[in-house]
């Protein structure tokens, strides 16, 4: 992605800096409530890296409508109670114009309610739970990343072709995201002929997964679906390898299960893992190659979907502010609906009805430590119906 594509015409719009009552010298403040410690800290690191890389480019080109942009970080610890406390501080004390970063789906739902009370908008770049943009949707919450249902569509299509009518067992983390991702993939897989053989949910930050291995063996599945993430995935797959469970089992899962941040710690136990994702560093486009090169230069690490979606978030916000001519909530909300914006994945569209981003989806397999694209589903085919009824 070139800077010109991402940054647009910020310099030409600098004279509009007085819109919304702010002077051109006043910074636009974006609060970032994300896990910087604990099990999901690797995800929070990618969120931070993606946002900071985009911030550097945006400010180098004159900011947004002539105003510099600031990022204010708070550690949510992947805990909804902590996330709401930190978000309240950012809204009330720091007076942020916008908020992003929430990883835990429960945190996104809770902070979304807080955003409504504070008349501010938020956007998640990570949370997967379908509920965020379906039955628990909020007029003040947007999602720029793919939800569980979109990921499941890509993965289920691959599974139906590679392992038709496979017997599948499910292991997810015991909270909103874990249960919703399992439910979403189970529904998509069963529609294509897969047979469900059982499910279990483990607490976050579980140290010993072997207690579930007896149930797994008894179910005799050909495929295990899991939506663990971060260090939980490291422990799960490492322990499965030690117990010999990976020999005749295909492991598939949510897009956050195996990422650039934990694949090194998982090692060979990650080989063969397949997921449905909205991003891969292997995407062969000039825009993505430029993004990956800039990311590697800045952090000496590869971007994953969290880094890519967080990087693209600033392009989304910038385009919306420039379209609205202000950071005022009501006008900005309307500007975001139906908006198209450039990302490393390609052009995305924000569906106006449920505030869910439409994007192409991919099935990706881990082969010798690399993520290889093995299937593609167009964005309109993957997104599913608009099920938001609140607004």
Phi, psi values for residue 316, rounded to 5°: -65, -50
**Predicted confidence (pLDDT) per residue in 151-196, tens digit:** 999 999 999 999 999 999 999 999 888 998 999 999 999 999 999 9
Q: CB count, 10 Å around CB of 75?
A: 18
Q: Name the band, by pLDDT with cuts 50, 70 and 90, for residue 25.
A: confident
Host H or E run for residue 375: strand 370-377
Place of tokens 């941040």: 261
Q: Dihedral of the CA atoms 275, 317, 105, 295 (nearest 10)?
A: 50
Query: C-alpha distances in angstroms, 267 versus 259, 263, 264?
Result: 12, 6, 5
If 0-12 CB within 10 Å is exposed, 13-18 middle and 19+ buried, where does residue 71 land?
A: middle
Of the chain, the end-to-end C-alpha distance in Å amounts to 34
Share of the chain above pLDDT 90, in %: 87
DSSP state of 340: E
Q: CB count, 10 Å around CB of 119?
A: 11
**Three-class SS state of 308:** helix
> Helices (H), strands (E): how many in the chain?
13, 15
pLDDT above 50: residue 244: yes
Place of tokens 């799960």: 236
Q: How far apart are CA 278 and CA 282, in angstroms?
A: 12
Q: Between these two residues, 10 and 256, which has the higher pLDDT value?
A: 256
**Predicted confidence (pLDDT) per residue in 185-234, tens digit:** 999 999 999 999 999 999 999 999 999 999 999 999 999 999 999 899 99
Vertex 360, ends 338 and 279: CA angle to 5°?
110
**Predicted confidence (pLDDT) per residue in 318-374, tens digit:** 999 999 999 999 999 999 999 999 999 999 999 999 999 999 999 999 999 889 999
Closest by Cα among 301, 373, 352, 372 to 42: 301
Query: C-alpha distances in angstroms, 71 versus 30, 33, 305, 336?
Result: 5, 10, 20, 20
pLDDT above 80: residue 36: yes
**Is residue 166 within 8 Å of 223, Cβ to Cβ?**
yes
Domains and CATH numbers, the chain: 3-146+283-359 (3.40.50.2300), 149-277 (3.40.50.2300)
**Is residue 279 within 8 Å of 308, Cβ to Cβ?**
yes
pLDDT score at 255: 87
Q: How far apart are CA 154 and CA 278, in angstroms?
A: 9
């Amino acid at each position: 992605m070139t800077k010109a594509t991402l940054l647009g015409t910020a310099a030409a719009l600098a004279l509009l800096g007085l819109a919304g009552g702010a002077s051109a010298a006043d910074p636009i403040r974006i609060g970032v409530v994300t896990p910087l410690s604990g099990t999901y800290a690797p995800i929070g690191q990618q969120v931070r890296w993606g946002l900071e890389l985009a911030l550097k480019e945006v400010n180098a080109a004159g900011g947004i409508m002539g105003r510099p942009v600031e990022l204010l970080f708070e550690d949510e610890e992947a805990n909804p109670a902590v996330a709401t406390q930190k978000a309240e501080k950012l809204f009330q004390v720091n007076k942020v114009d916008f908020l992003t970063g929430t990883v835990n789906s429960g945190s996104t739902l809770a902070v979304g309610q807080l955003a409504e009370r504070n008349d501010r908008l938020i956007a998640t770049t990570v949370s997967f739970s379908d509920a965020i943009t379906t039955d628990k949707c909020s007029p003040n919450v947007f999602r720029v990343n793919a939800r569980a249902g979109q990921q499941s569509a890509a993965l289920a299509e691959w599974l139906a072709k590679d392992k038709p009518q496979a017997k599948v067992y499910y292991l997810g983390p015991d909270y909103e995201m874990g249960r919703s991702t399992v439910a979403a993939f189970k529904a998509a897989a069963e529609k294509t002929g897969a047979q469900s053989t059982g499910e279990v949910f483990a607490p976050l930050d579980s140290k010993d997964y072997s207690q579930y291995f007896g149930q797994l063996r008894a179910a005799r599945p050909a495929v295990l679906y899991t939506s663990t993430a971060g260090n939980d995935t490291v422990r799960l797959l490492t322990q499965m390898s030690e117990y010999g469970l990976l020999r005749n089992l295909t492991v598939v899962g949510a897009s956050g299960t195996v990422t650039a941040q934990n694949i090194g710690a998982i090692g060979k136990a990650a080989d063969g893992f397949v997921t449905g994702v909205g991003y891969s560093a292997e995407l062969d486009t000039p825009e993505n190659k430029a993004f990956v090169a800039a990311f590697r230069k800045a952090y000496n690490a590869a971007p994953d979907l969290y880094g890519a979606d967080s990087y693209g978030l600033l392009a989304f916000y910038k385009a919306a502010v420039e379209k609205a001519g202000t950071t005022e909530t009501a006008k900005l909300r309307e500007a975001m609906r139906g908006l198209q914006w450039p990302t490393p994945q390609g052009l995305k569209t924000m569906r106006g009805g449920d505030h869910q981003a439409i994007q192409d989806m991919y099935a990706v397999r881990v082969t010798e430590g690399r993520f290889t694209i093995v299937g593609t589903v167009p964005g309109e085919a993957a997104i599913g119906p608009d099920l938001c009824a609140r607004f």
